[in-house]
Amino acid sequence: MAYKVPRPNLTFAEKIYLPSVLAGLKITLGHLWRMLRGKTHVCMQYPEEKWDSHLPDHYRGAPTLVSDEFGRTRCVACQLCEFICPPRAIRITPGEIPTDDTFAKVEKYPEQFQIDMIRCIYCGLCEEVCPEQAIFLKKEYAIARTSRAEMMHNKAKLIEMGGLQPGVVNKWNEKK
Amino acid sequence: MNAILQFLSDPLPFLVWTTLAKSAGLLGVVLVMVSYTVYAERRVSSLMQDRLGPNRTGFPTSLLGFGIKDWSPFLGGLGQPIADALKLLLKEDFTPAYVNKFYYWIAPGLGIGAAIISLAVIPFGSSIAGVDMVIANVDIGPLFVFAISSLGVYGIVLAGWSSNSKYPFLGAVRSTNQLISYELALGLSIVPLILIIGKLNLVEIVSYQVQNGWMLLPGITAKAPHLPTLEQFLTWIPVFIAFLVFTISMFAETNRLPFDLPEAETELVSGYHTEYSSLKFALFFLGEYTAMITGSALIVTLFLGGWHFPGIPDGSAAGWLGVMWGLVNIGVFLAKVVAFLIFFIFIRWTLPRFRYDQLMKLGWIWFFEIALVNIFITALIVTYVH
Amino acid sequence: MSPILFWIFSALMLGFGAATILNRNPVASALSLVVSFLGLAALFFGLDANFIGVIQILVYAGAVMVLFIFIIMLLDLKAEQRRQINIPALLGGVAIVVAFTAQLVTVIRSYKAGNEPFAAITPNLPDAHNIGMTLFANYNLPFQVIGVLILVASIGVVVLSQRELK
Ligand code: SF4
Ligand code: SF4
């Protein structure tokens, strides 16, 4: 069944269209005038003005490796994040912890841990899958460098970005 | 040296070199104006939408010690047109494999050529050192502009047709359609003006307005500005109607919103120049804005007294004084054109697009009839006044 | 007008006129016709008949041909390009052209006034003014009649196109 859209009954002023042109101009020029006097402030001038202080806690920025209260990198090189990462941005080379180490029972540590920030899509799956709460997406978002090599975050860089983060997982502590 | 000067002041060589100089100068001014119109378009549109627009690519004013921030909301971005031009020049010029090469290549040139040639008959100033500031002083000024700019539509049609792809093609069909709807109204709407003035020569039309007041603002004459007399008021009525019809048709002629049917980004990707890139796209872009400048210049010449402004003499005085006033006249003309360009921009960012059948209806049913009736009214009034 | 320009524009006009019929592609034909019109307009300009020249461009190149192209572009161009040359029609056409040219040549040969030089033309005629005076003073009645004729034709078109197609 065809539905007939009723045509609006236009007044003469609406039909000749010019009054509505003037009304439209009034609106747009009003905006222009308010902008010119600096009354409207909608846009942020990005590098100079930032939204950083308003970022929520769950903001997903660059993934980083965090350390526990002993300064030990939490990661146990289980490689779960490497497998789940959708764009395969993570590369881990596991290493063995020597038996005379305090944390010898952890057995494995990442000898190398690389995240290719050209590939990373900031999905946060690595943070979610990690059984050790070792990898977190921090609030760093302006990852822009001038070469591919610089976009490759290595272990040192990741640890430095992650910093200390005492967490709930403390199964490797001596006290237990 | 003297021999060269002697040769240059002979009538024929003098005509040749002054014409060349005028053409080169006008072309330079117009190209700069085009690029800054694009910039103004971007800035004004963004200010109207509470944005800021391009405000970064500036000249390093802070390095020069002016203390203005380079990205200051209103001064920054003045370098943007230069950057844009460079970008368009350096981009890859890509010709799709399926296009009709010959027509695809000549189309951009047709568009911009038509727009620039029609500038030739517009008097952009009074005179400098006895040289009239118009490139071709012909007796058929407005008709020449209409004729040449109606050829510009071939650029669009050829681009759309030779691109061999459906959106450009629709753009081309629409543009022919648009041309036949508004061109009649455009031509007829200035007949009242010519009836009143009795001249077809743009230079003489301007000098008539200098003597007897601007067509649209009859009180402003070379003598003292005064309130219009009854006769002037009577002739003003058809002139005002003609002005409305002419200006609105000019929007259609220059393919500007609300009549940008051939381009219609929201419907046809990018309309007739969808398949164009780099320099060829830039030529279309230039052509479009040059046509806008030509249109504004024509409106200013016909209705707003051309280069005349009350209190500013023309450049006929002897010596440097005359040269100075001649330059000031050019400045006045350009200022009026710029004001009109900004009006064009305001309208573009205010109104939605007409549908093509609405445009046809507007052109054929409204403007054609209004323009015709207006001619009769003018004839009556002119007989009464004389 | 210098003879060189005259020859250039005549050659342009005739060449593109020929291209109009020789081109297999309808759009290319139409565009050749436009260039041919432009050459004609240039010849008018050369005779100081600026008004006629501009009207030539405005009406023919600017309006009529745009309409033509508008229609052509909506047709199926490929079918036109595939069409075979019809030999008898071609021969007939050539025969008519030859006969017409021969007739023209003989007529012009025997026409006395054609051999006499023109009276000198004063340059810069106000041709818009002249045309207006001629049309409205000398030939007012025929002009009005033509006007009415065109009006009738356009009303006829409107009536025909308004009729519902059954
Ligand atoms: S970061 Fe977590 S998931 Fe990834 S290898 Fe280390 S412990 Fe395993
Ligand atoms: S955030 Fe997503 S894409 Fe980035 S490293 Fe983690 S899993 Fe991979």
Domains identified in chain C, total number:
2
| Residue of A24, A35, A38 lying closest to B351 (CB–CB) | A24
| Residue of C57, C63, C73 lying closest to B161 (CB–CB) | C73
Interface of C with B in 67-86 (CB under 8 A): 67, 69-70, 73-74
Q: Are residues C68 and C11 in the same domain?
A: yes
Chain B residues touching residue A38 (CB < 8 angstroms): 73
For residues A38-47, give the mean pLDDT. 79
Distance from C-alpha of B348 to C-alpha of C80, rounded to nearest angstrom: 41
Banded model confidence at residue C157, pLDDT cuts 50, 70, 90: confident
- Ligand with an atom nearest the CA of residue A79: 1
CB of A120 within 6 A of ligand 2: the answer is yes
Measured in angstroms, the CA of A44 and the nearest CA of chain B are apart by: 9
φ, ψ for residue B262, nearest 5 deg: -65, -25
CA atoms within 13 A on the CB side of B179: 30
Distance from C-alpha of B362 to C-alpha of B261, rounded to nearest angstrom: 14
Domain region containing C27: 3-82
Q: Is residue C23 part of a domain?
A: yes
Measured in angstroms, the CA of C135 and the nearest CA of chain B are apart by: 17
Banded model confidence at residue C98, pLDDT cuts 50, 70, 90: very high
A72 φ/ψ sector (left φ>0, alpha ψ -120 to 50, else beta): beta
Chain C residues touching residue B176 (CB < 8 angstroms): 66-67, 69-70, 73
Q: Render pLDDT for B269-310 as a digit per residue (tens, 0 to 9).
A: 877 888 888 888 888 888 888 888 888 888 888 888 777 777
* Radius of gyration of chain B from its Cα atoms, rounded to whole angstroms: 22
Q: Which of C23, C57, C82 is the last residue of a domain?
A: C82
User: Residue B70 pLDDT more than 50?
Assistant: no
ipTM score of the complex?
A: 0.74
Q: Are residues C23 and C75 in the same domain?
A: yes
Q: Which of C46, C66, C82 is the last residue of a domain?
A: C82
CB of A124 within 6 A of ligand 2: the answer is yes
Q: Are residues C74 and C144 in the same domain?
A: no
Measured in angstroms, the CA of A86 and the nearest CA of chain B are apart by: 33
Distance from C-alpha of B302 to C-alpha of B199, rounded to nearest angstrom: 11
User: Residue B68 pLDDT more than 70?
Assistant: no
What pLDDT, on a 0 to 100 scale, did the predictor assign at position B31? 86
Distance A127 CA to ligand 2 centre (A): 8
Interface of B with A in 47-86 (CB under 8 A): 47-52, 71, 73-74
Q: Which atom of ligand 2 is nearest to the CA of A119?
A: 3
Distance from C-alpha of B147 to C-alpha of C56, rounded to nearest angstrom: 9
| Residue of B48, B244, B351 lying closest to A32 (CB–CB) | B48
Interaxial angle between packed helices B278-303 and B141-162, expressed in degrees from 0 to 180 and rounded to the nearest 10: 160
For residues B17-34, give the mean pLDDT. 85
Q: Is residue C99 part of a domain?
A: no
| Residues of chain B above pLDDT 90, percent | 0
Nearest Cα residue to B90 out of B279, B244, B245: B279
Mean pLDDT computed over every residue of chain A: 84
Residues with CB under 6 A from ligand 1: A 75-81, 92, 129-130, 132, 134-135
- Indicate the domain borders of chain B: 86-385
What pLDDT, on a 0 to 100 scale, did the predictor assign at position C164? 67
CB contact under 8 Å between B47 and A27, yes or no, is: no
CB of A125 within 6 A of ligand 2: the answer is yes
Instruction: B206-213: list long-range contacts, CB under 8 Å, 24+ apart.
Output: B206/B123, B206/B301, B206/B305, B206/B306, B206/B307, B206/B308, B209/B305, B209/B306, B209/B308, B210/B305, B210/B308, B210/B314
Interface of C with B in 22-61 (CB under 8 A): 27-28, 31, 34, 50-51, 54-55, 57-58, 61
CB contact under 8 Å between C70 and B176, yes or no, is: yes
* Beta strands, E only, chain C: none
- Ligand with an atom nearest the CA of residue A95: 1
Count other C-beta atoms under 10 Å from residue B79's C-beta: 16
Q: Render pLDDT for B254-274 as a digit per residue (tens, 0 to 9).
A: 888 788 877 777 788 877 888
Q: Is residue C121 part of a domain?
A: no
Chain A residues touching residue B74 (CB < 8 angstroms): 36
Query: What is each CA distance from B152 to B123, B294, C27, C118, in whole angstroms?
Result: 21, 12, 16, 38
Provide the β-strand partners of residue A95. A109
Higher pLDDT, C148 or A99: C148
Q: Is residue C160 part of a domain?
A: yes
Provide the β-strand partners of residue A153. A115
Higher pLDDT, C44 or A168: C44
Residue C146 sits at the vertex; the CA angle it makes with C141 and C151, to the nearest 5 degrees, is 125
Q: Which of C20, C55, C82 is the last residue of a domain?
A: C82
Residue of B nearest to C127 (CA): B139
Nearest Cα residue to B338 out of B7, B58, B85, B41: B41
CB of A158 within 6 A of ligand 2: the answer is no
What pLDDT, on a 0 to 100 scale, did the predictor assign at position C148? 94
User: Residue C102 pLDDT more than 80?
Assistant: yes
Chain A residues touching residue B71 (CB < 8 angstroms): 45, 48
* Radius of gyration of chain A from its Cα atoms, rounded to whole angstroms: 28
φ, ψ for residue A135, nearest 5 deg: -120, 130
Distance A76 CA to ligand 1 centre (A): 6
- pTM exceeds 0.90, yes or no: no
Interface of B with A in 233-262 (CB under 8 A): 244
- Name residue A11's amino acid: T
Q: Render pLDDT for A72-92 as a digit per residue (tens, 0 to 9).
A: 888 888 899 999 999 999 999
What pLDDT, on a 0 to 100 scale, did the predictor assign at position B101? 82
Residue pair A46/A137 in contact by the 8 Å Cβ criterion: no
Q: Render pLDDT for B74-115 as a digit per residue (tens, 0 to 9).
A: 567 777 888 888 888 888 888 888 888 888 888 888 888 888
User: Residue B314 pLDDT more than 70?
Assistant: yes
User: Residue B253 pLDDT more than 90?
Assistant: no
Q: Are residues C76 and C135 in the same domain?
A: no
Count other C-beta atoms under 10 Å from residue A121's C-beta: 11
What pLDDT, on a 0 to 100 scale, did the predictor assign at position C77? 64
Residue of A nearest to B346 (CA): A25
Q: Render pLDDT for A144-173 as a digit per residue (tens, 0 to 9).
A: 889 988 889 888 888 888 888 776 666 666
Chains C and A touching, counted as 3 or more CB pairs less than 8 Å apart: no
User: Residue B71 pLDDT more than 70?
Assistant: no
Mean pLDDT computed over every residue of chain B: 80
What pLDDT, on a 0 to 100 scale, did the predictor assign at position C149? 94
Q: Is residue C153 part of a domain?
A: yes
Q: Is residue C165 part of a domain?
A: yes
Number of alpha helices (DSSP H) and beta strands (DSSP E) in chain A? 6, 5
User: Residue B66 pLDDT more than 60?
Assistant: no
CB contact under 8 Å between C69 and B176, yes or no, is: yes
Mean pLDDT lowest for which of A95-99, B60-64, B237-241, C12-16? Answer: B60-64
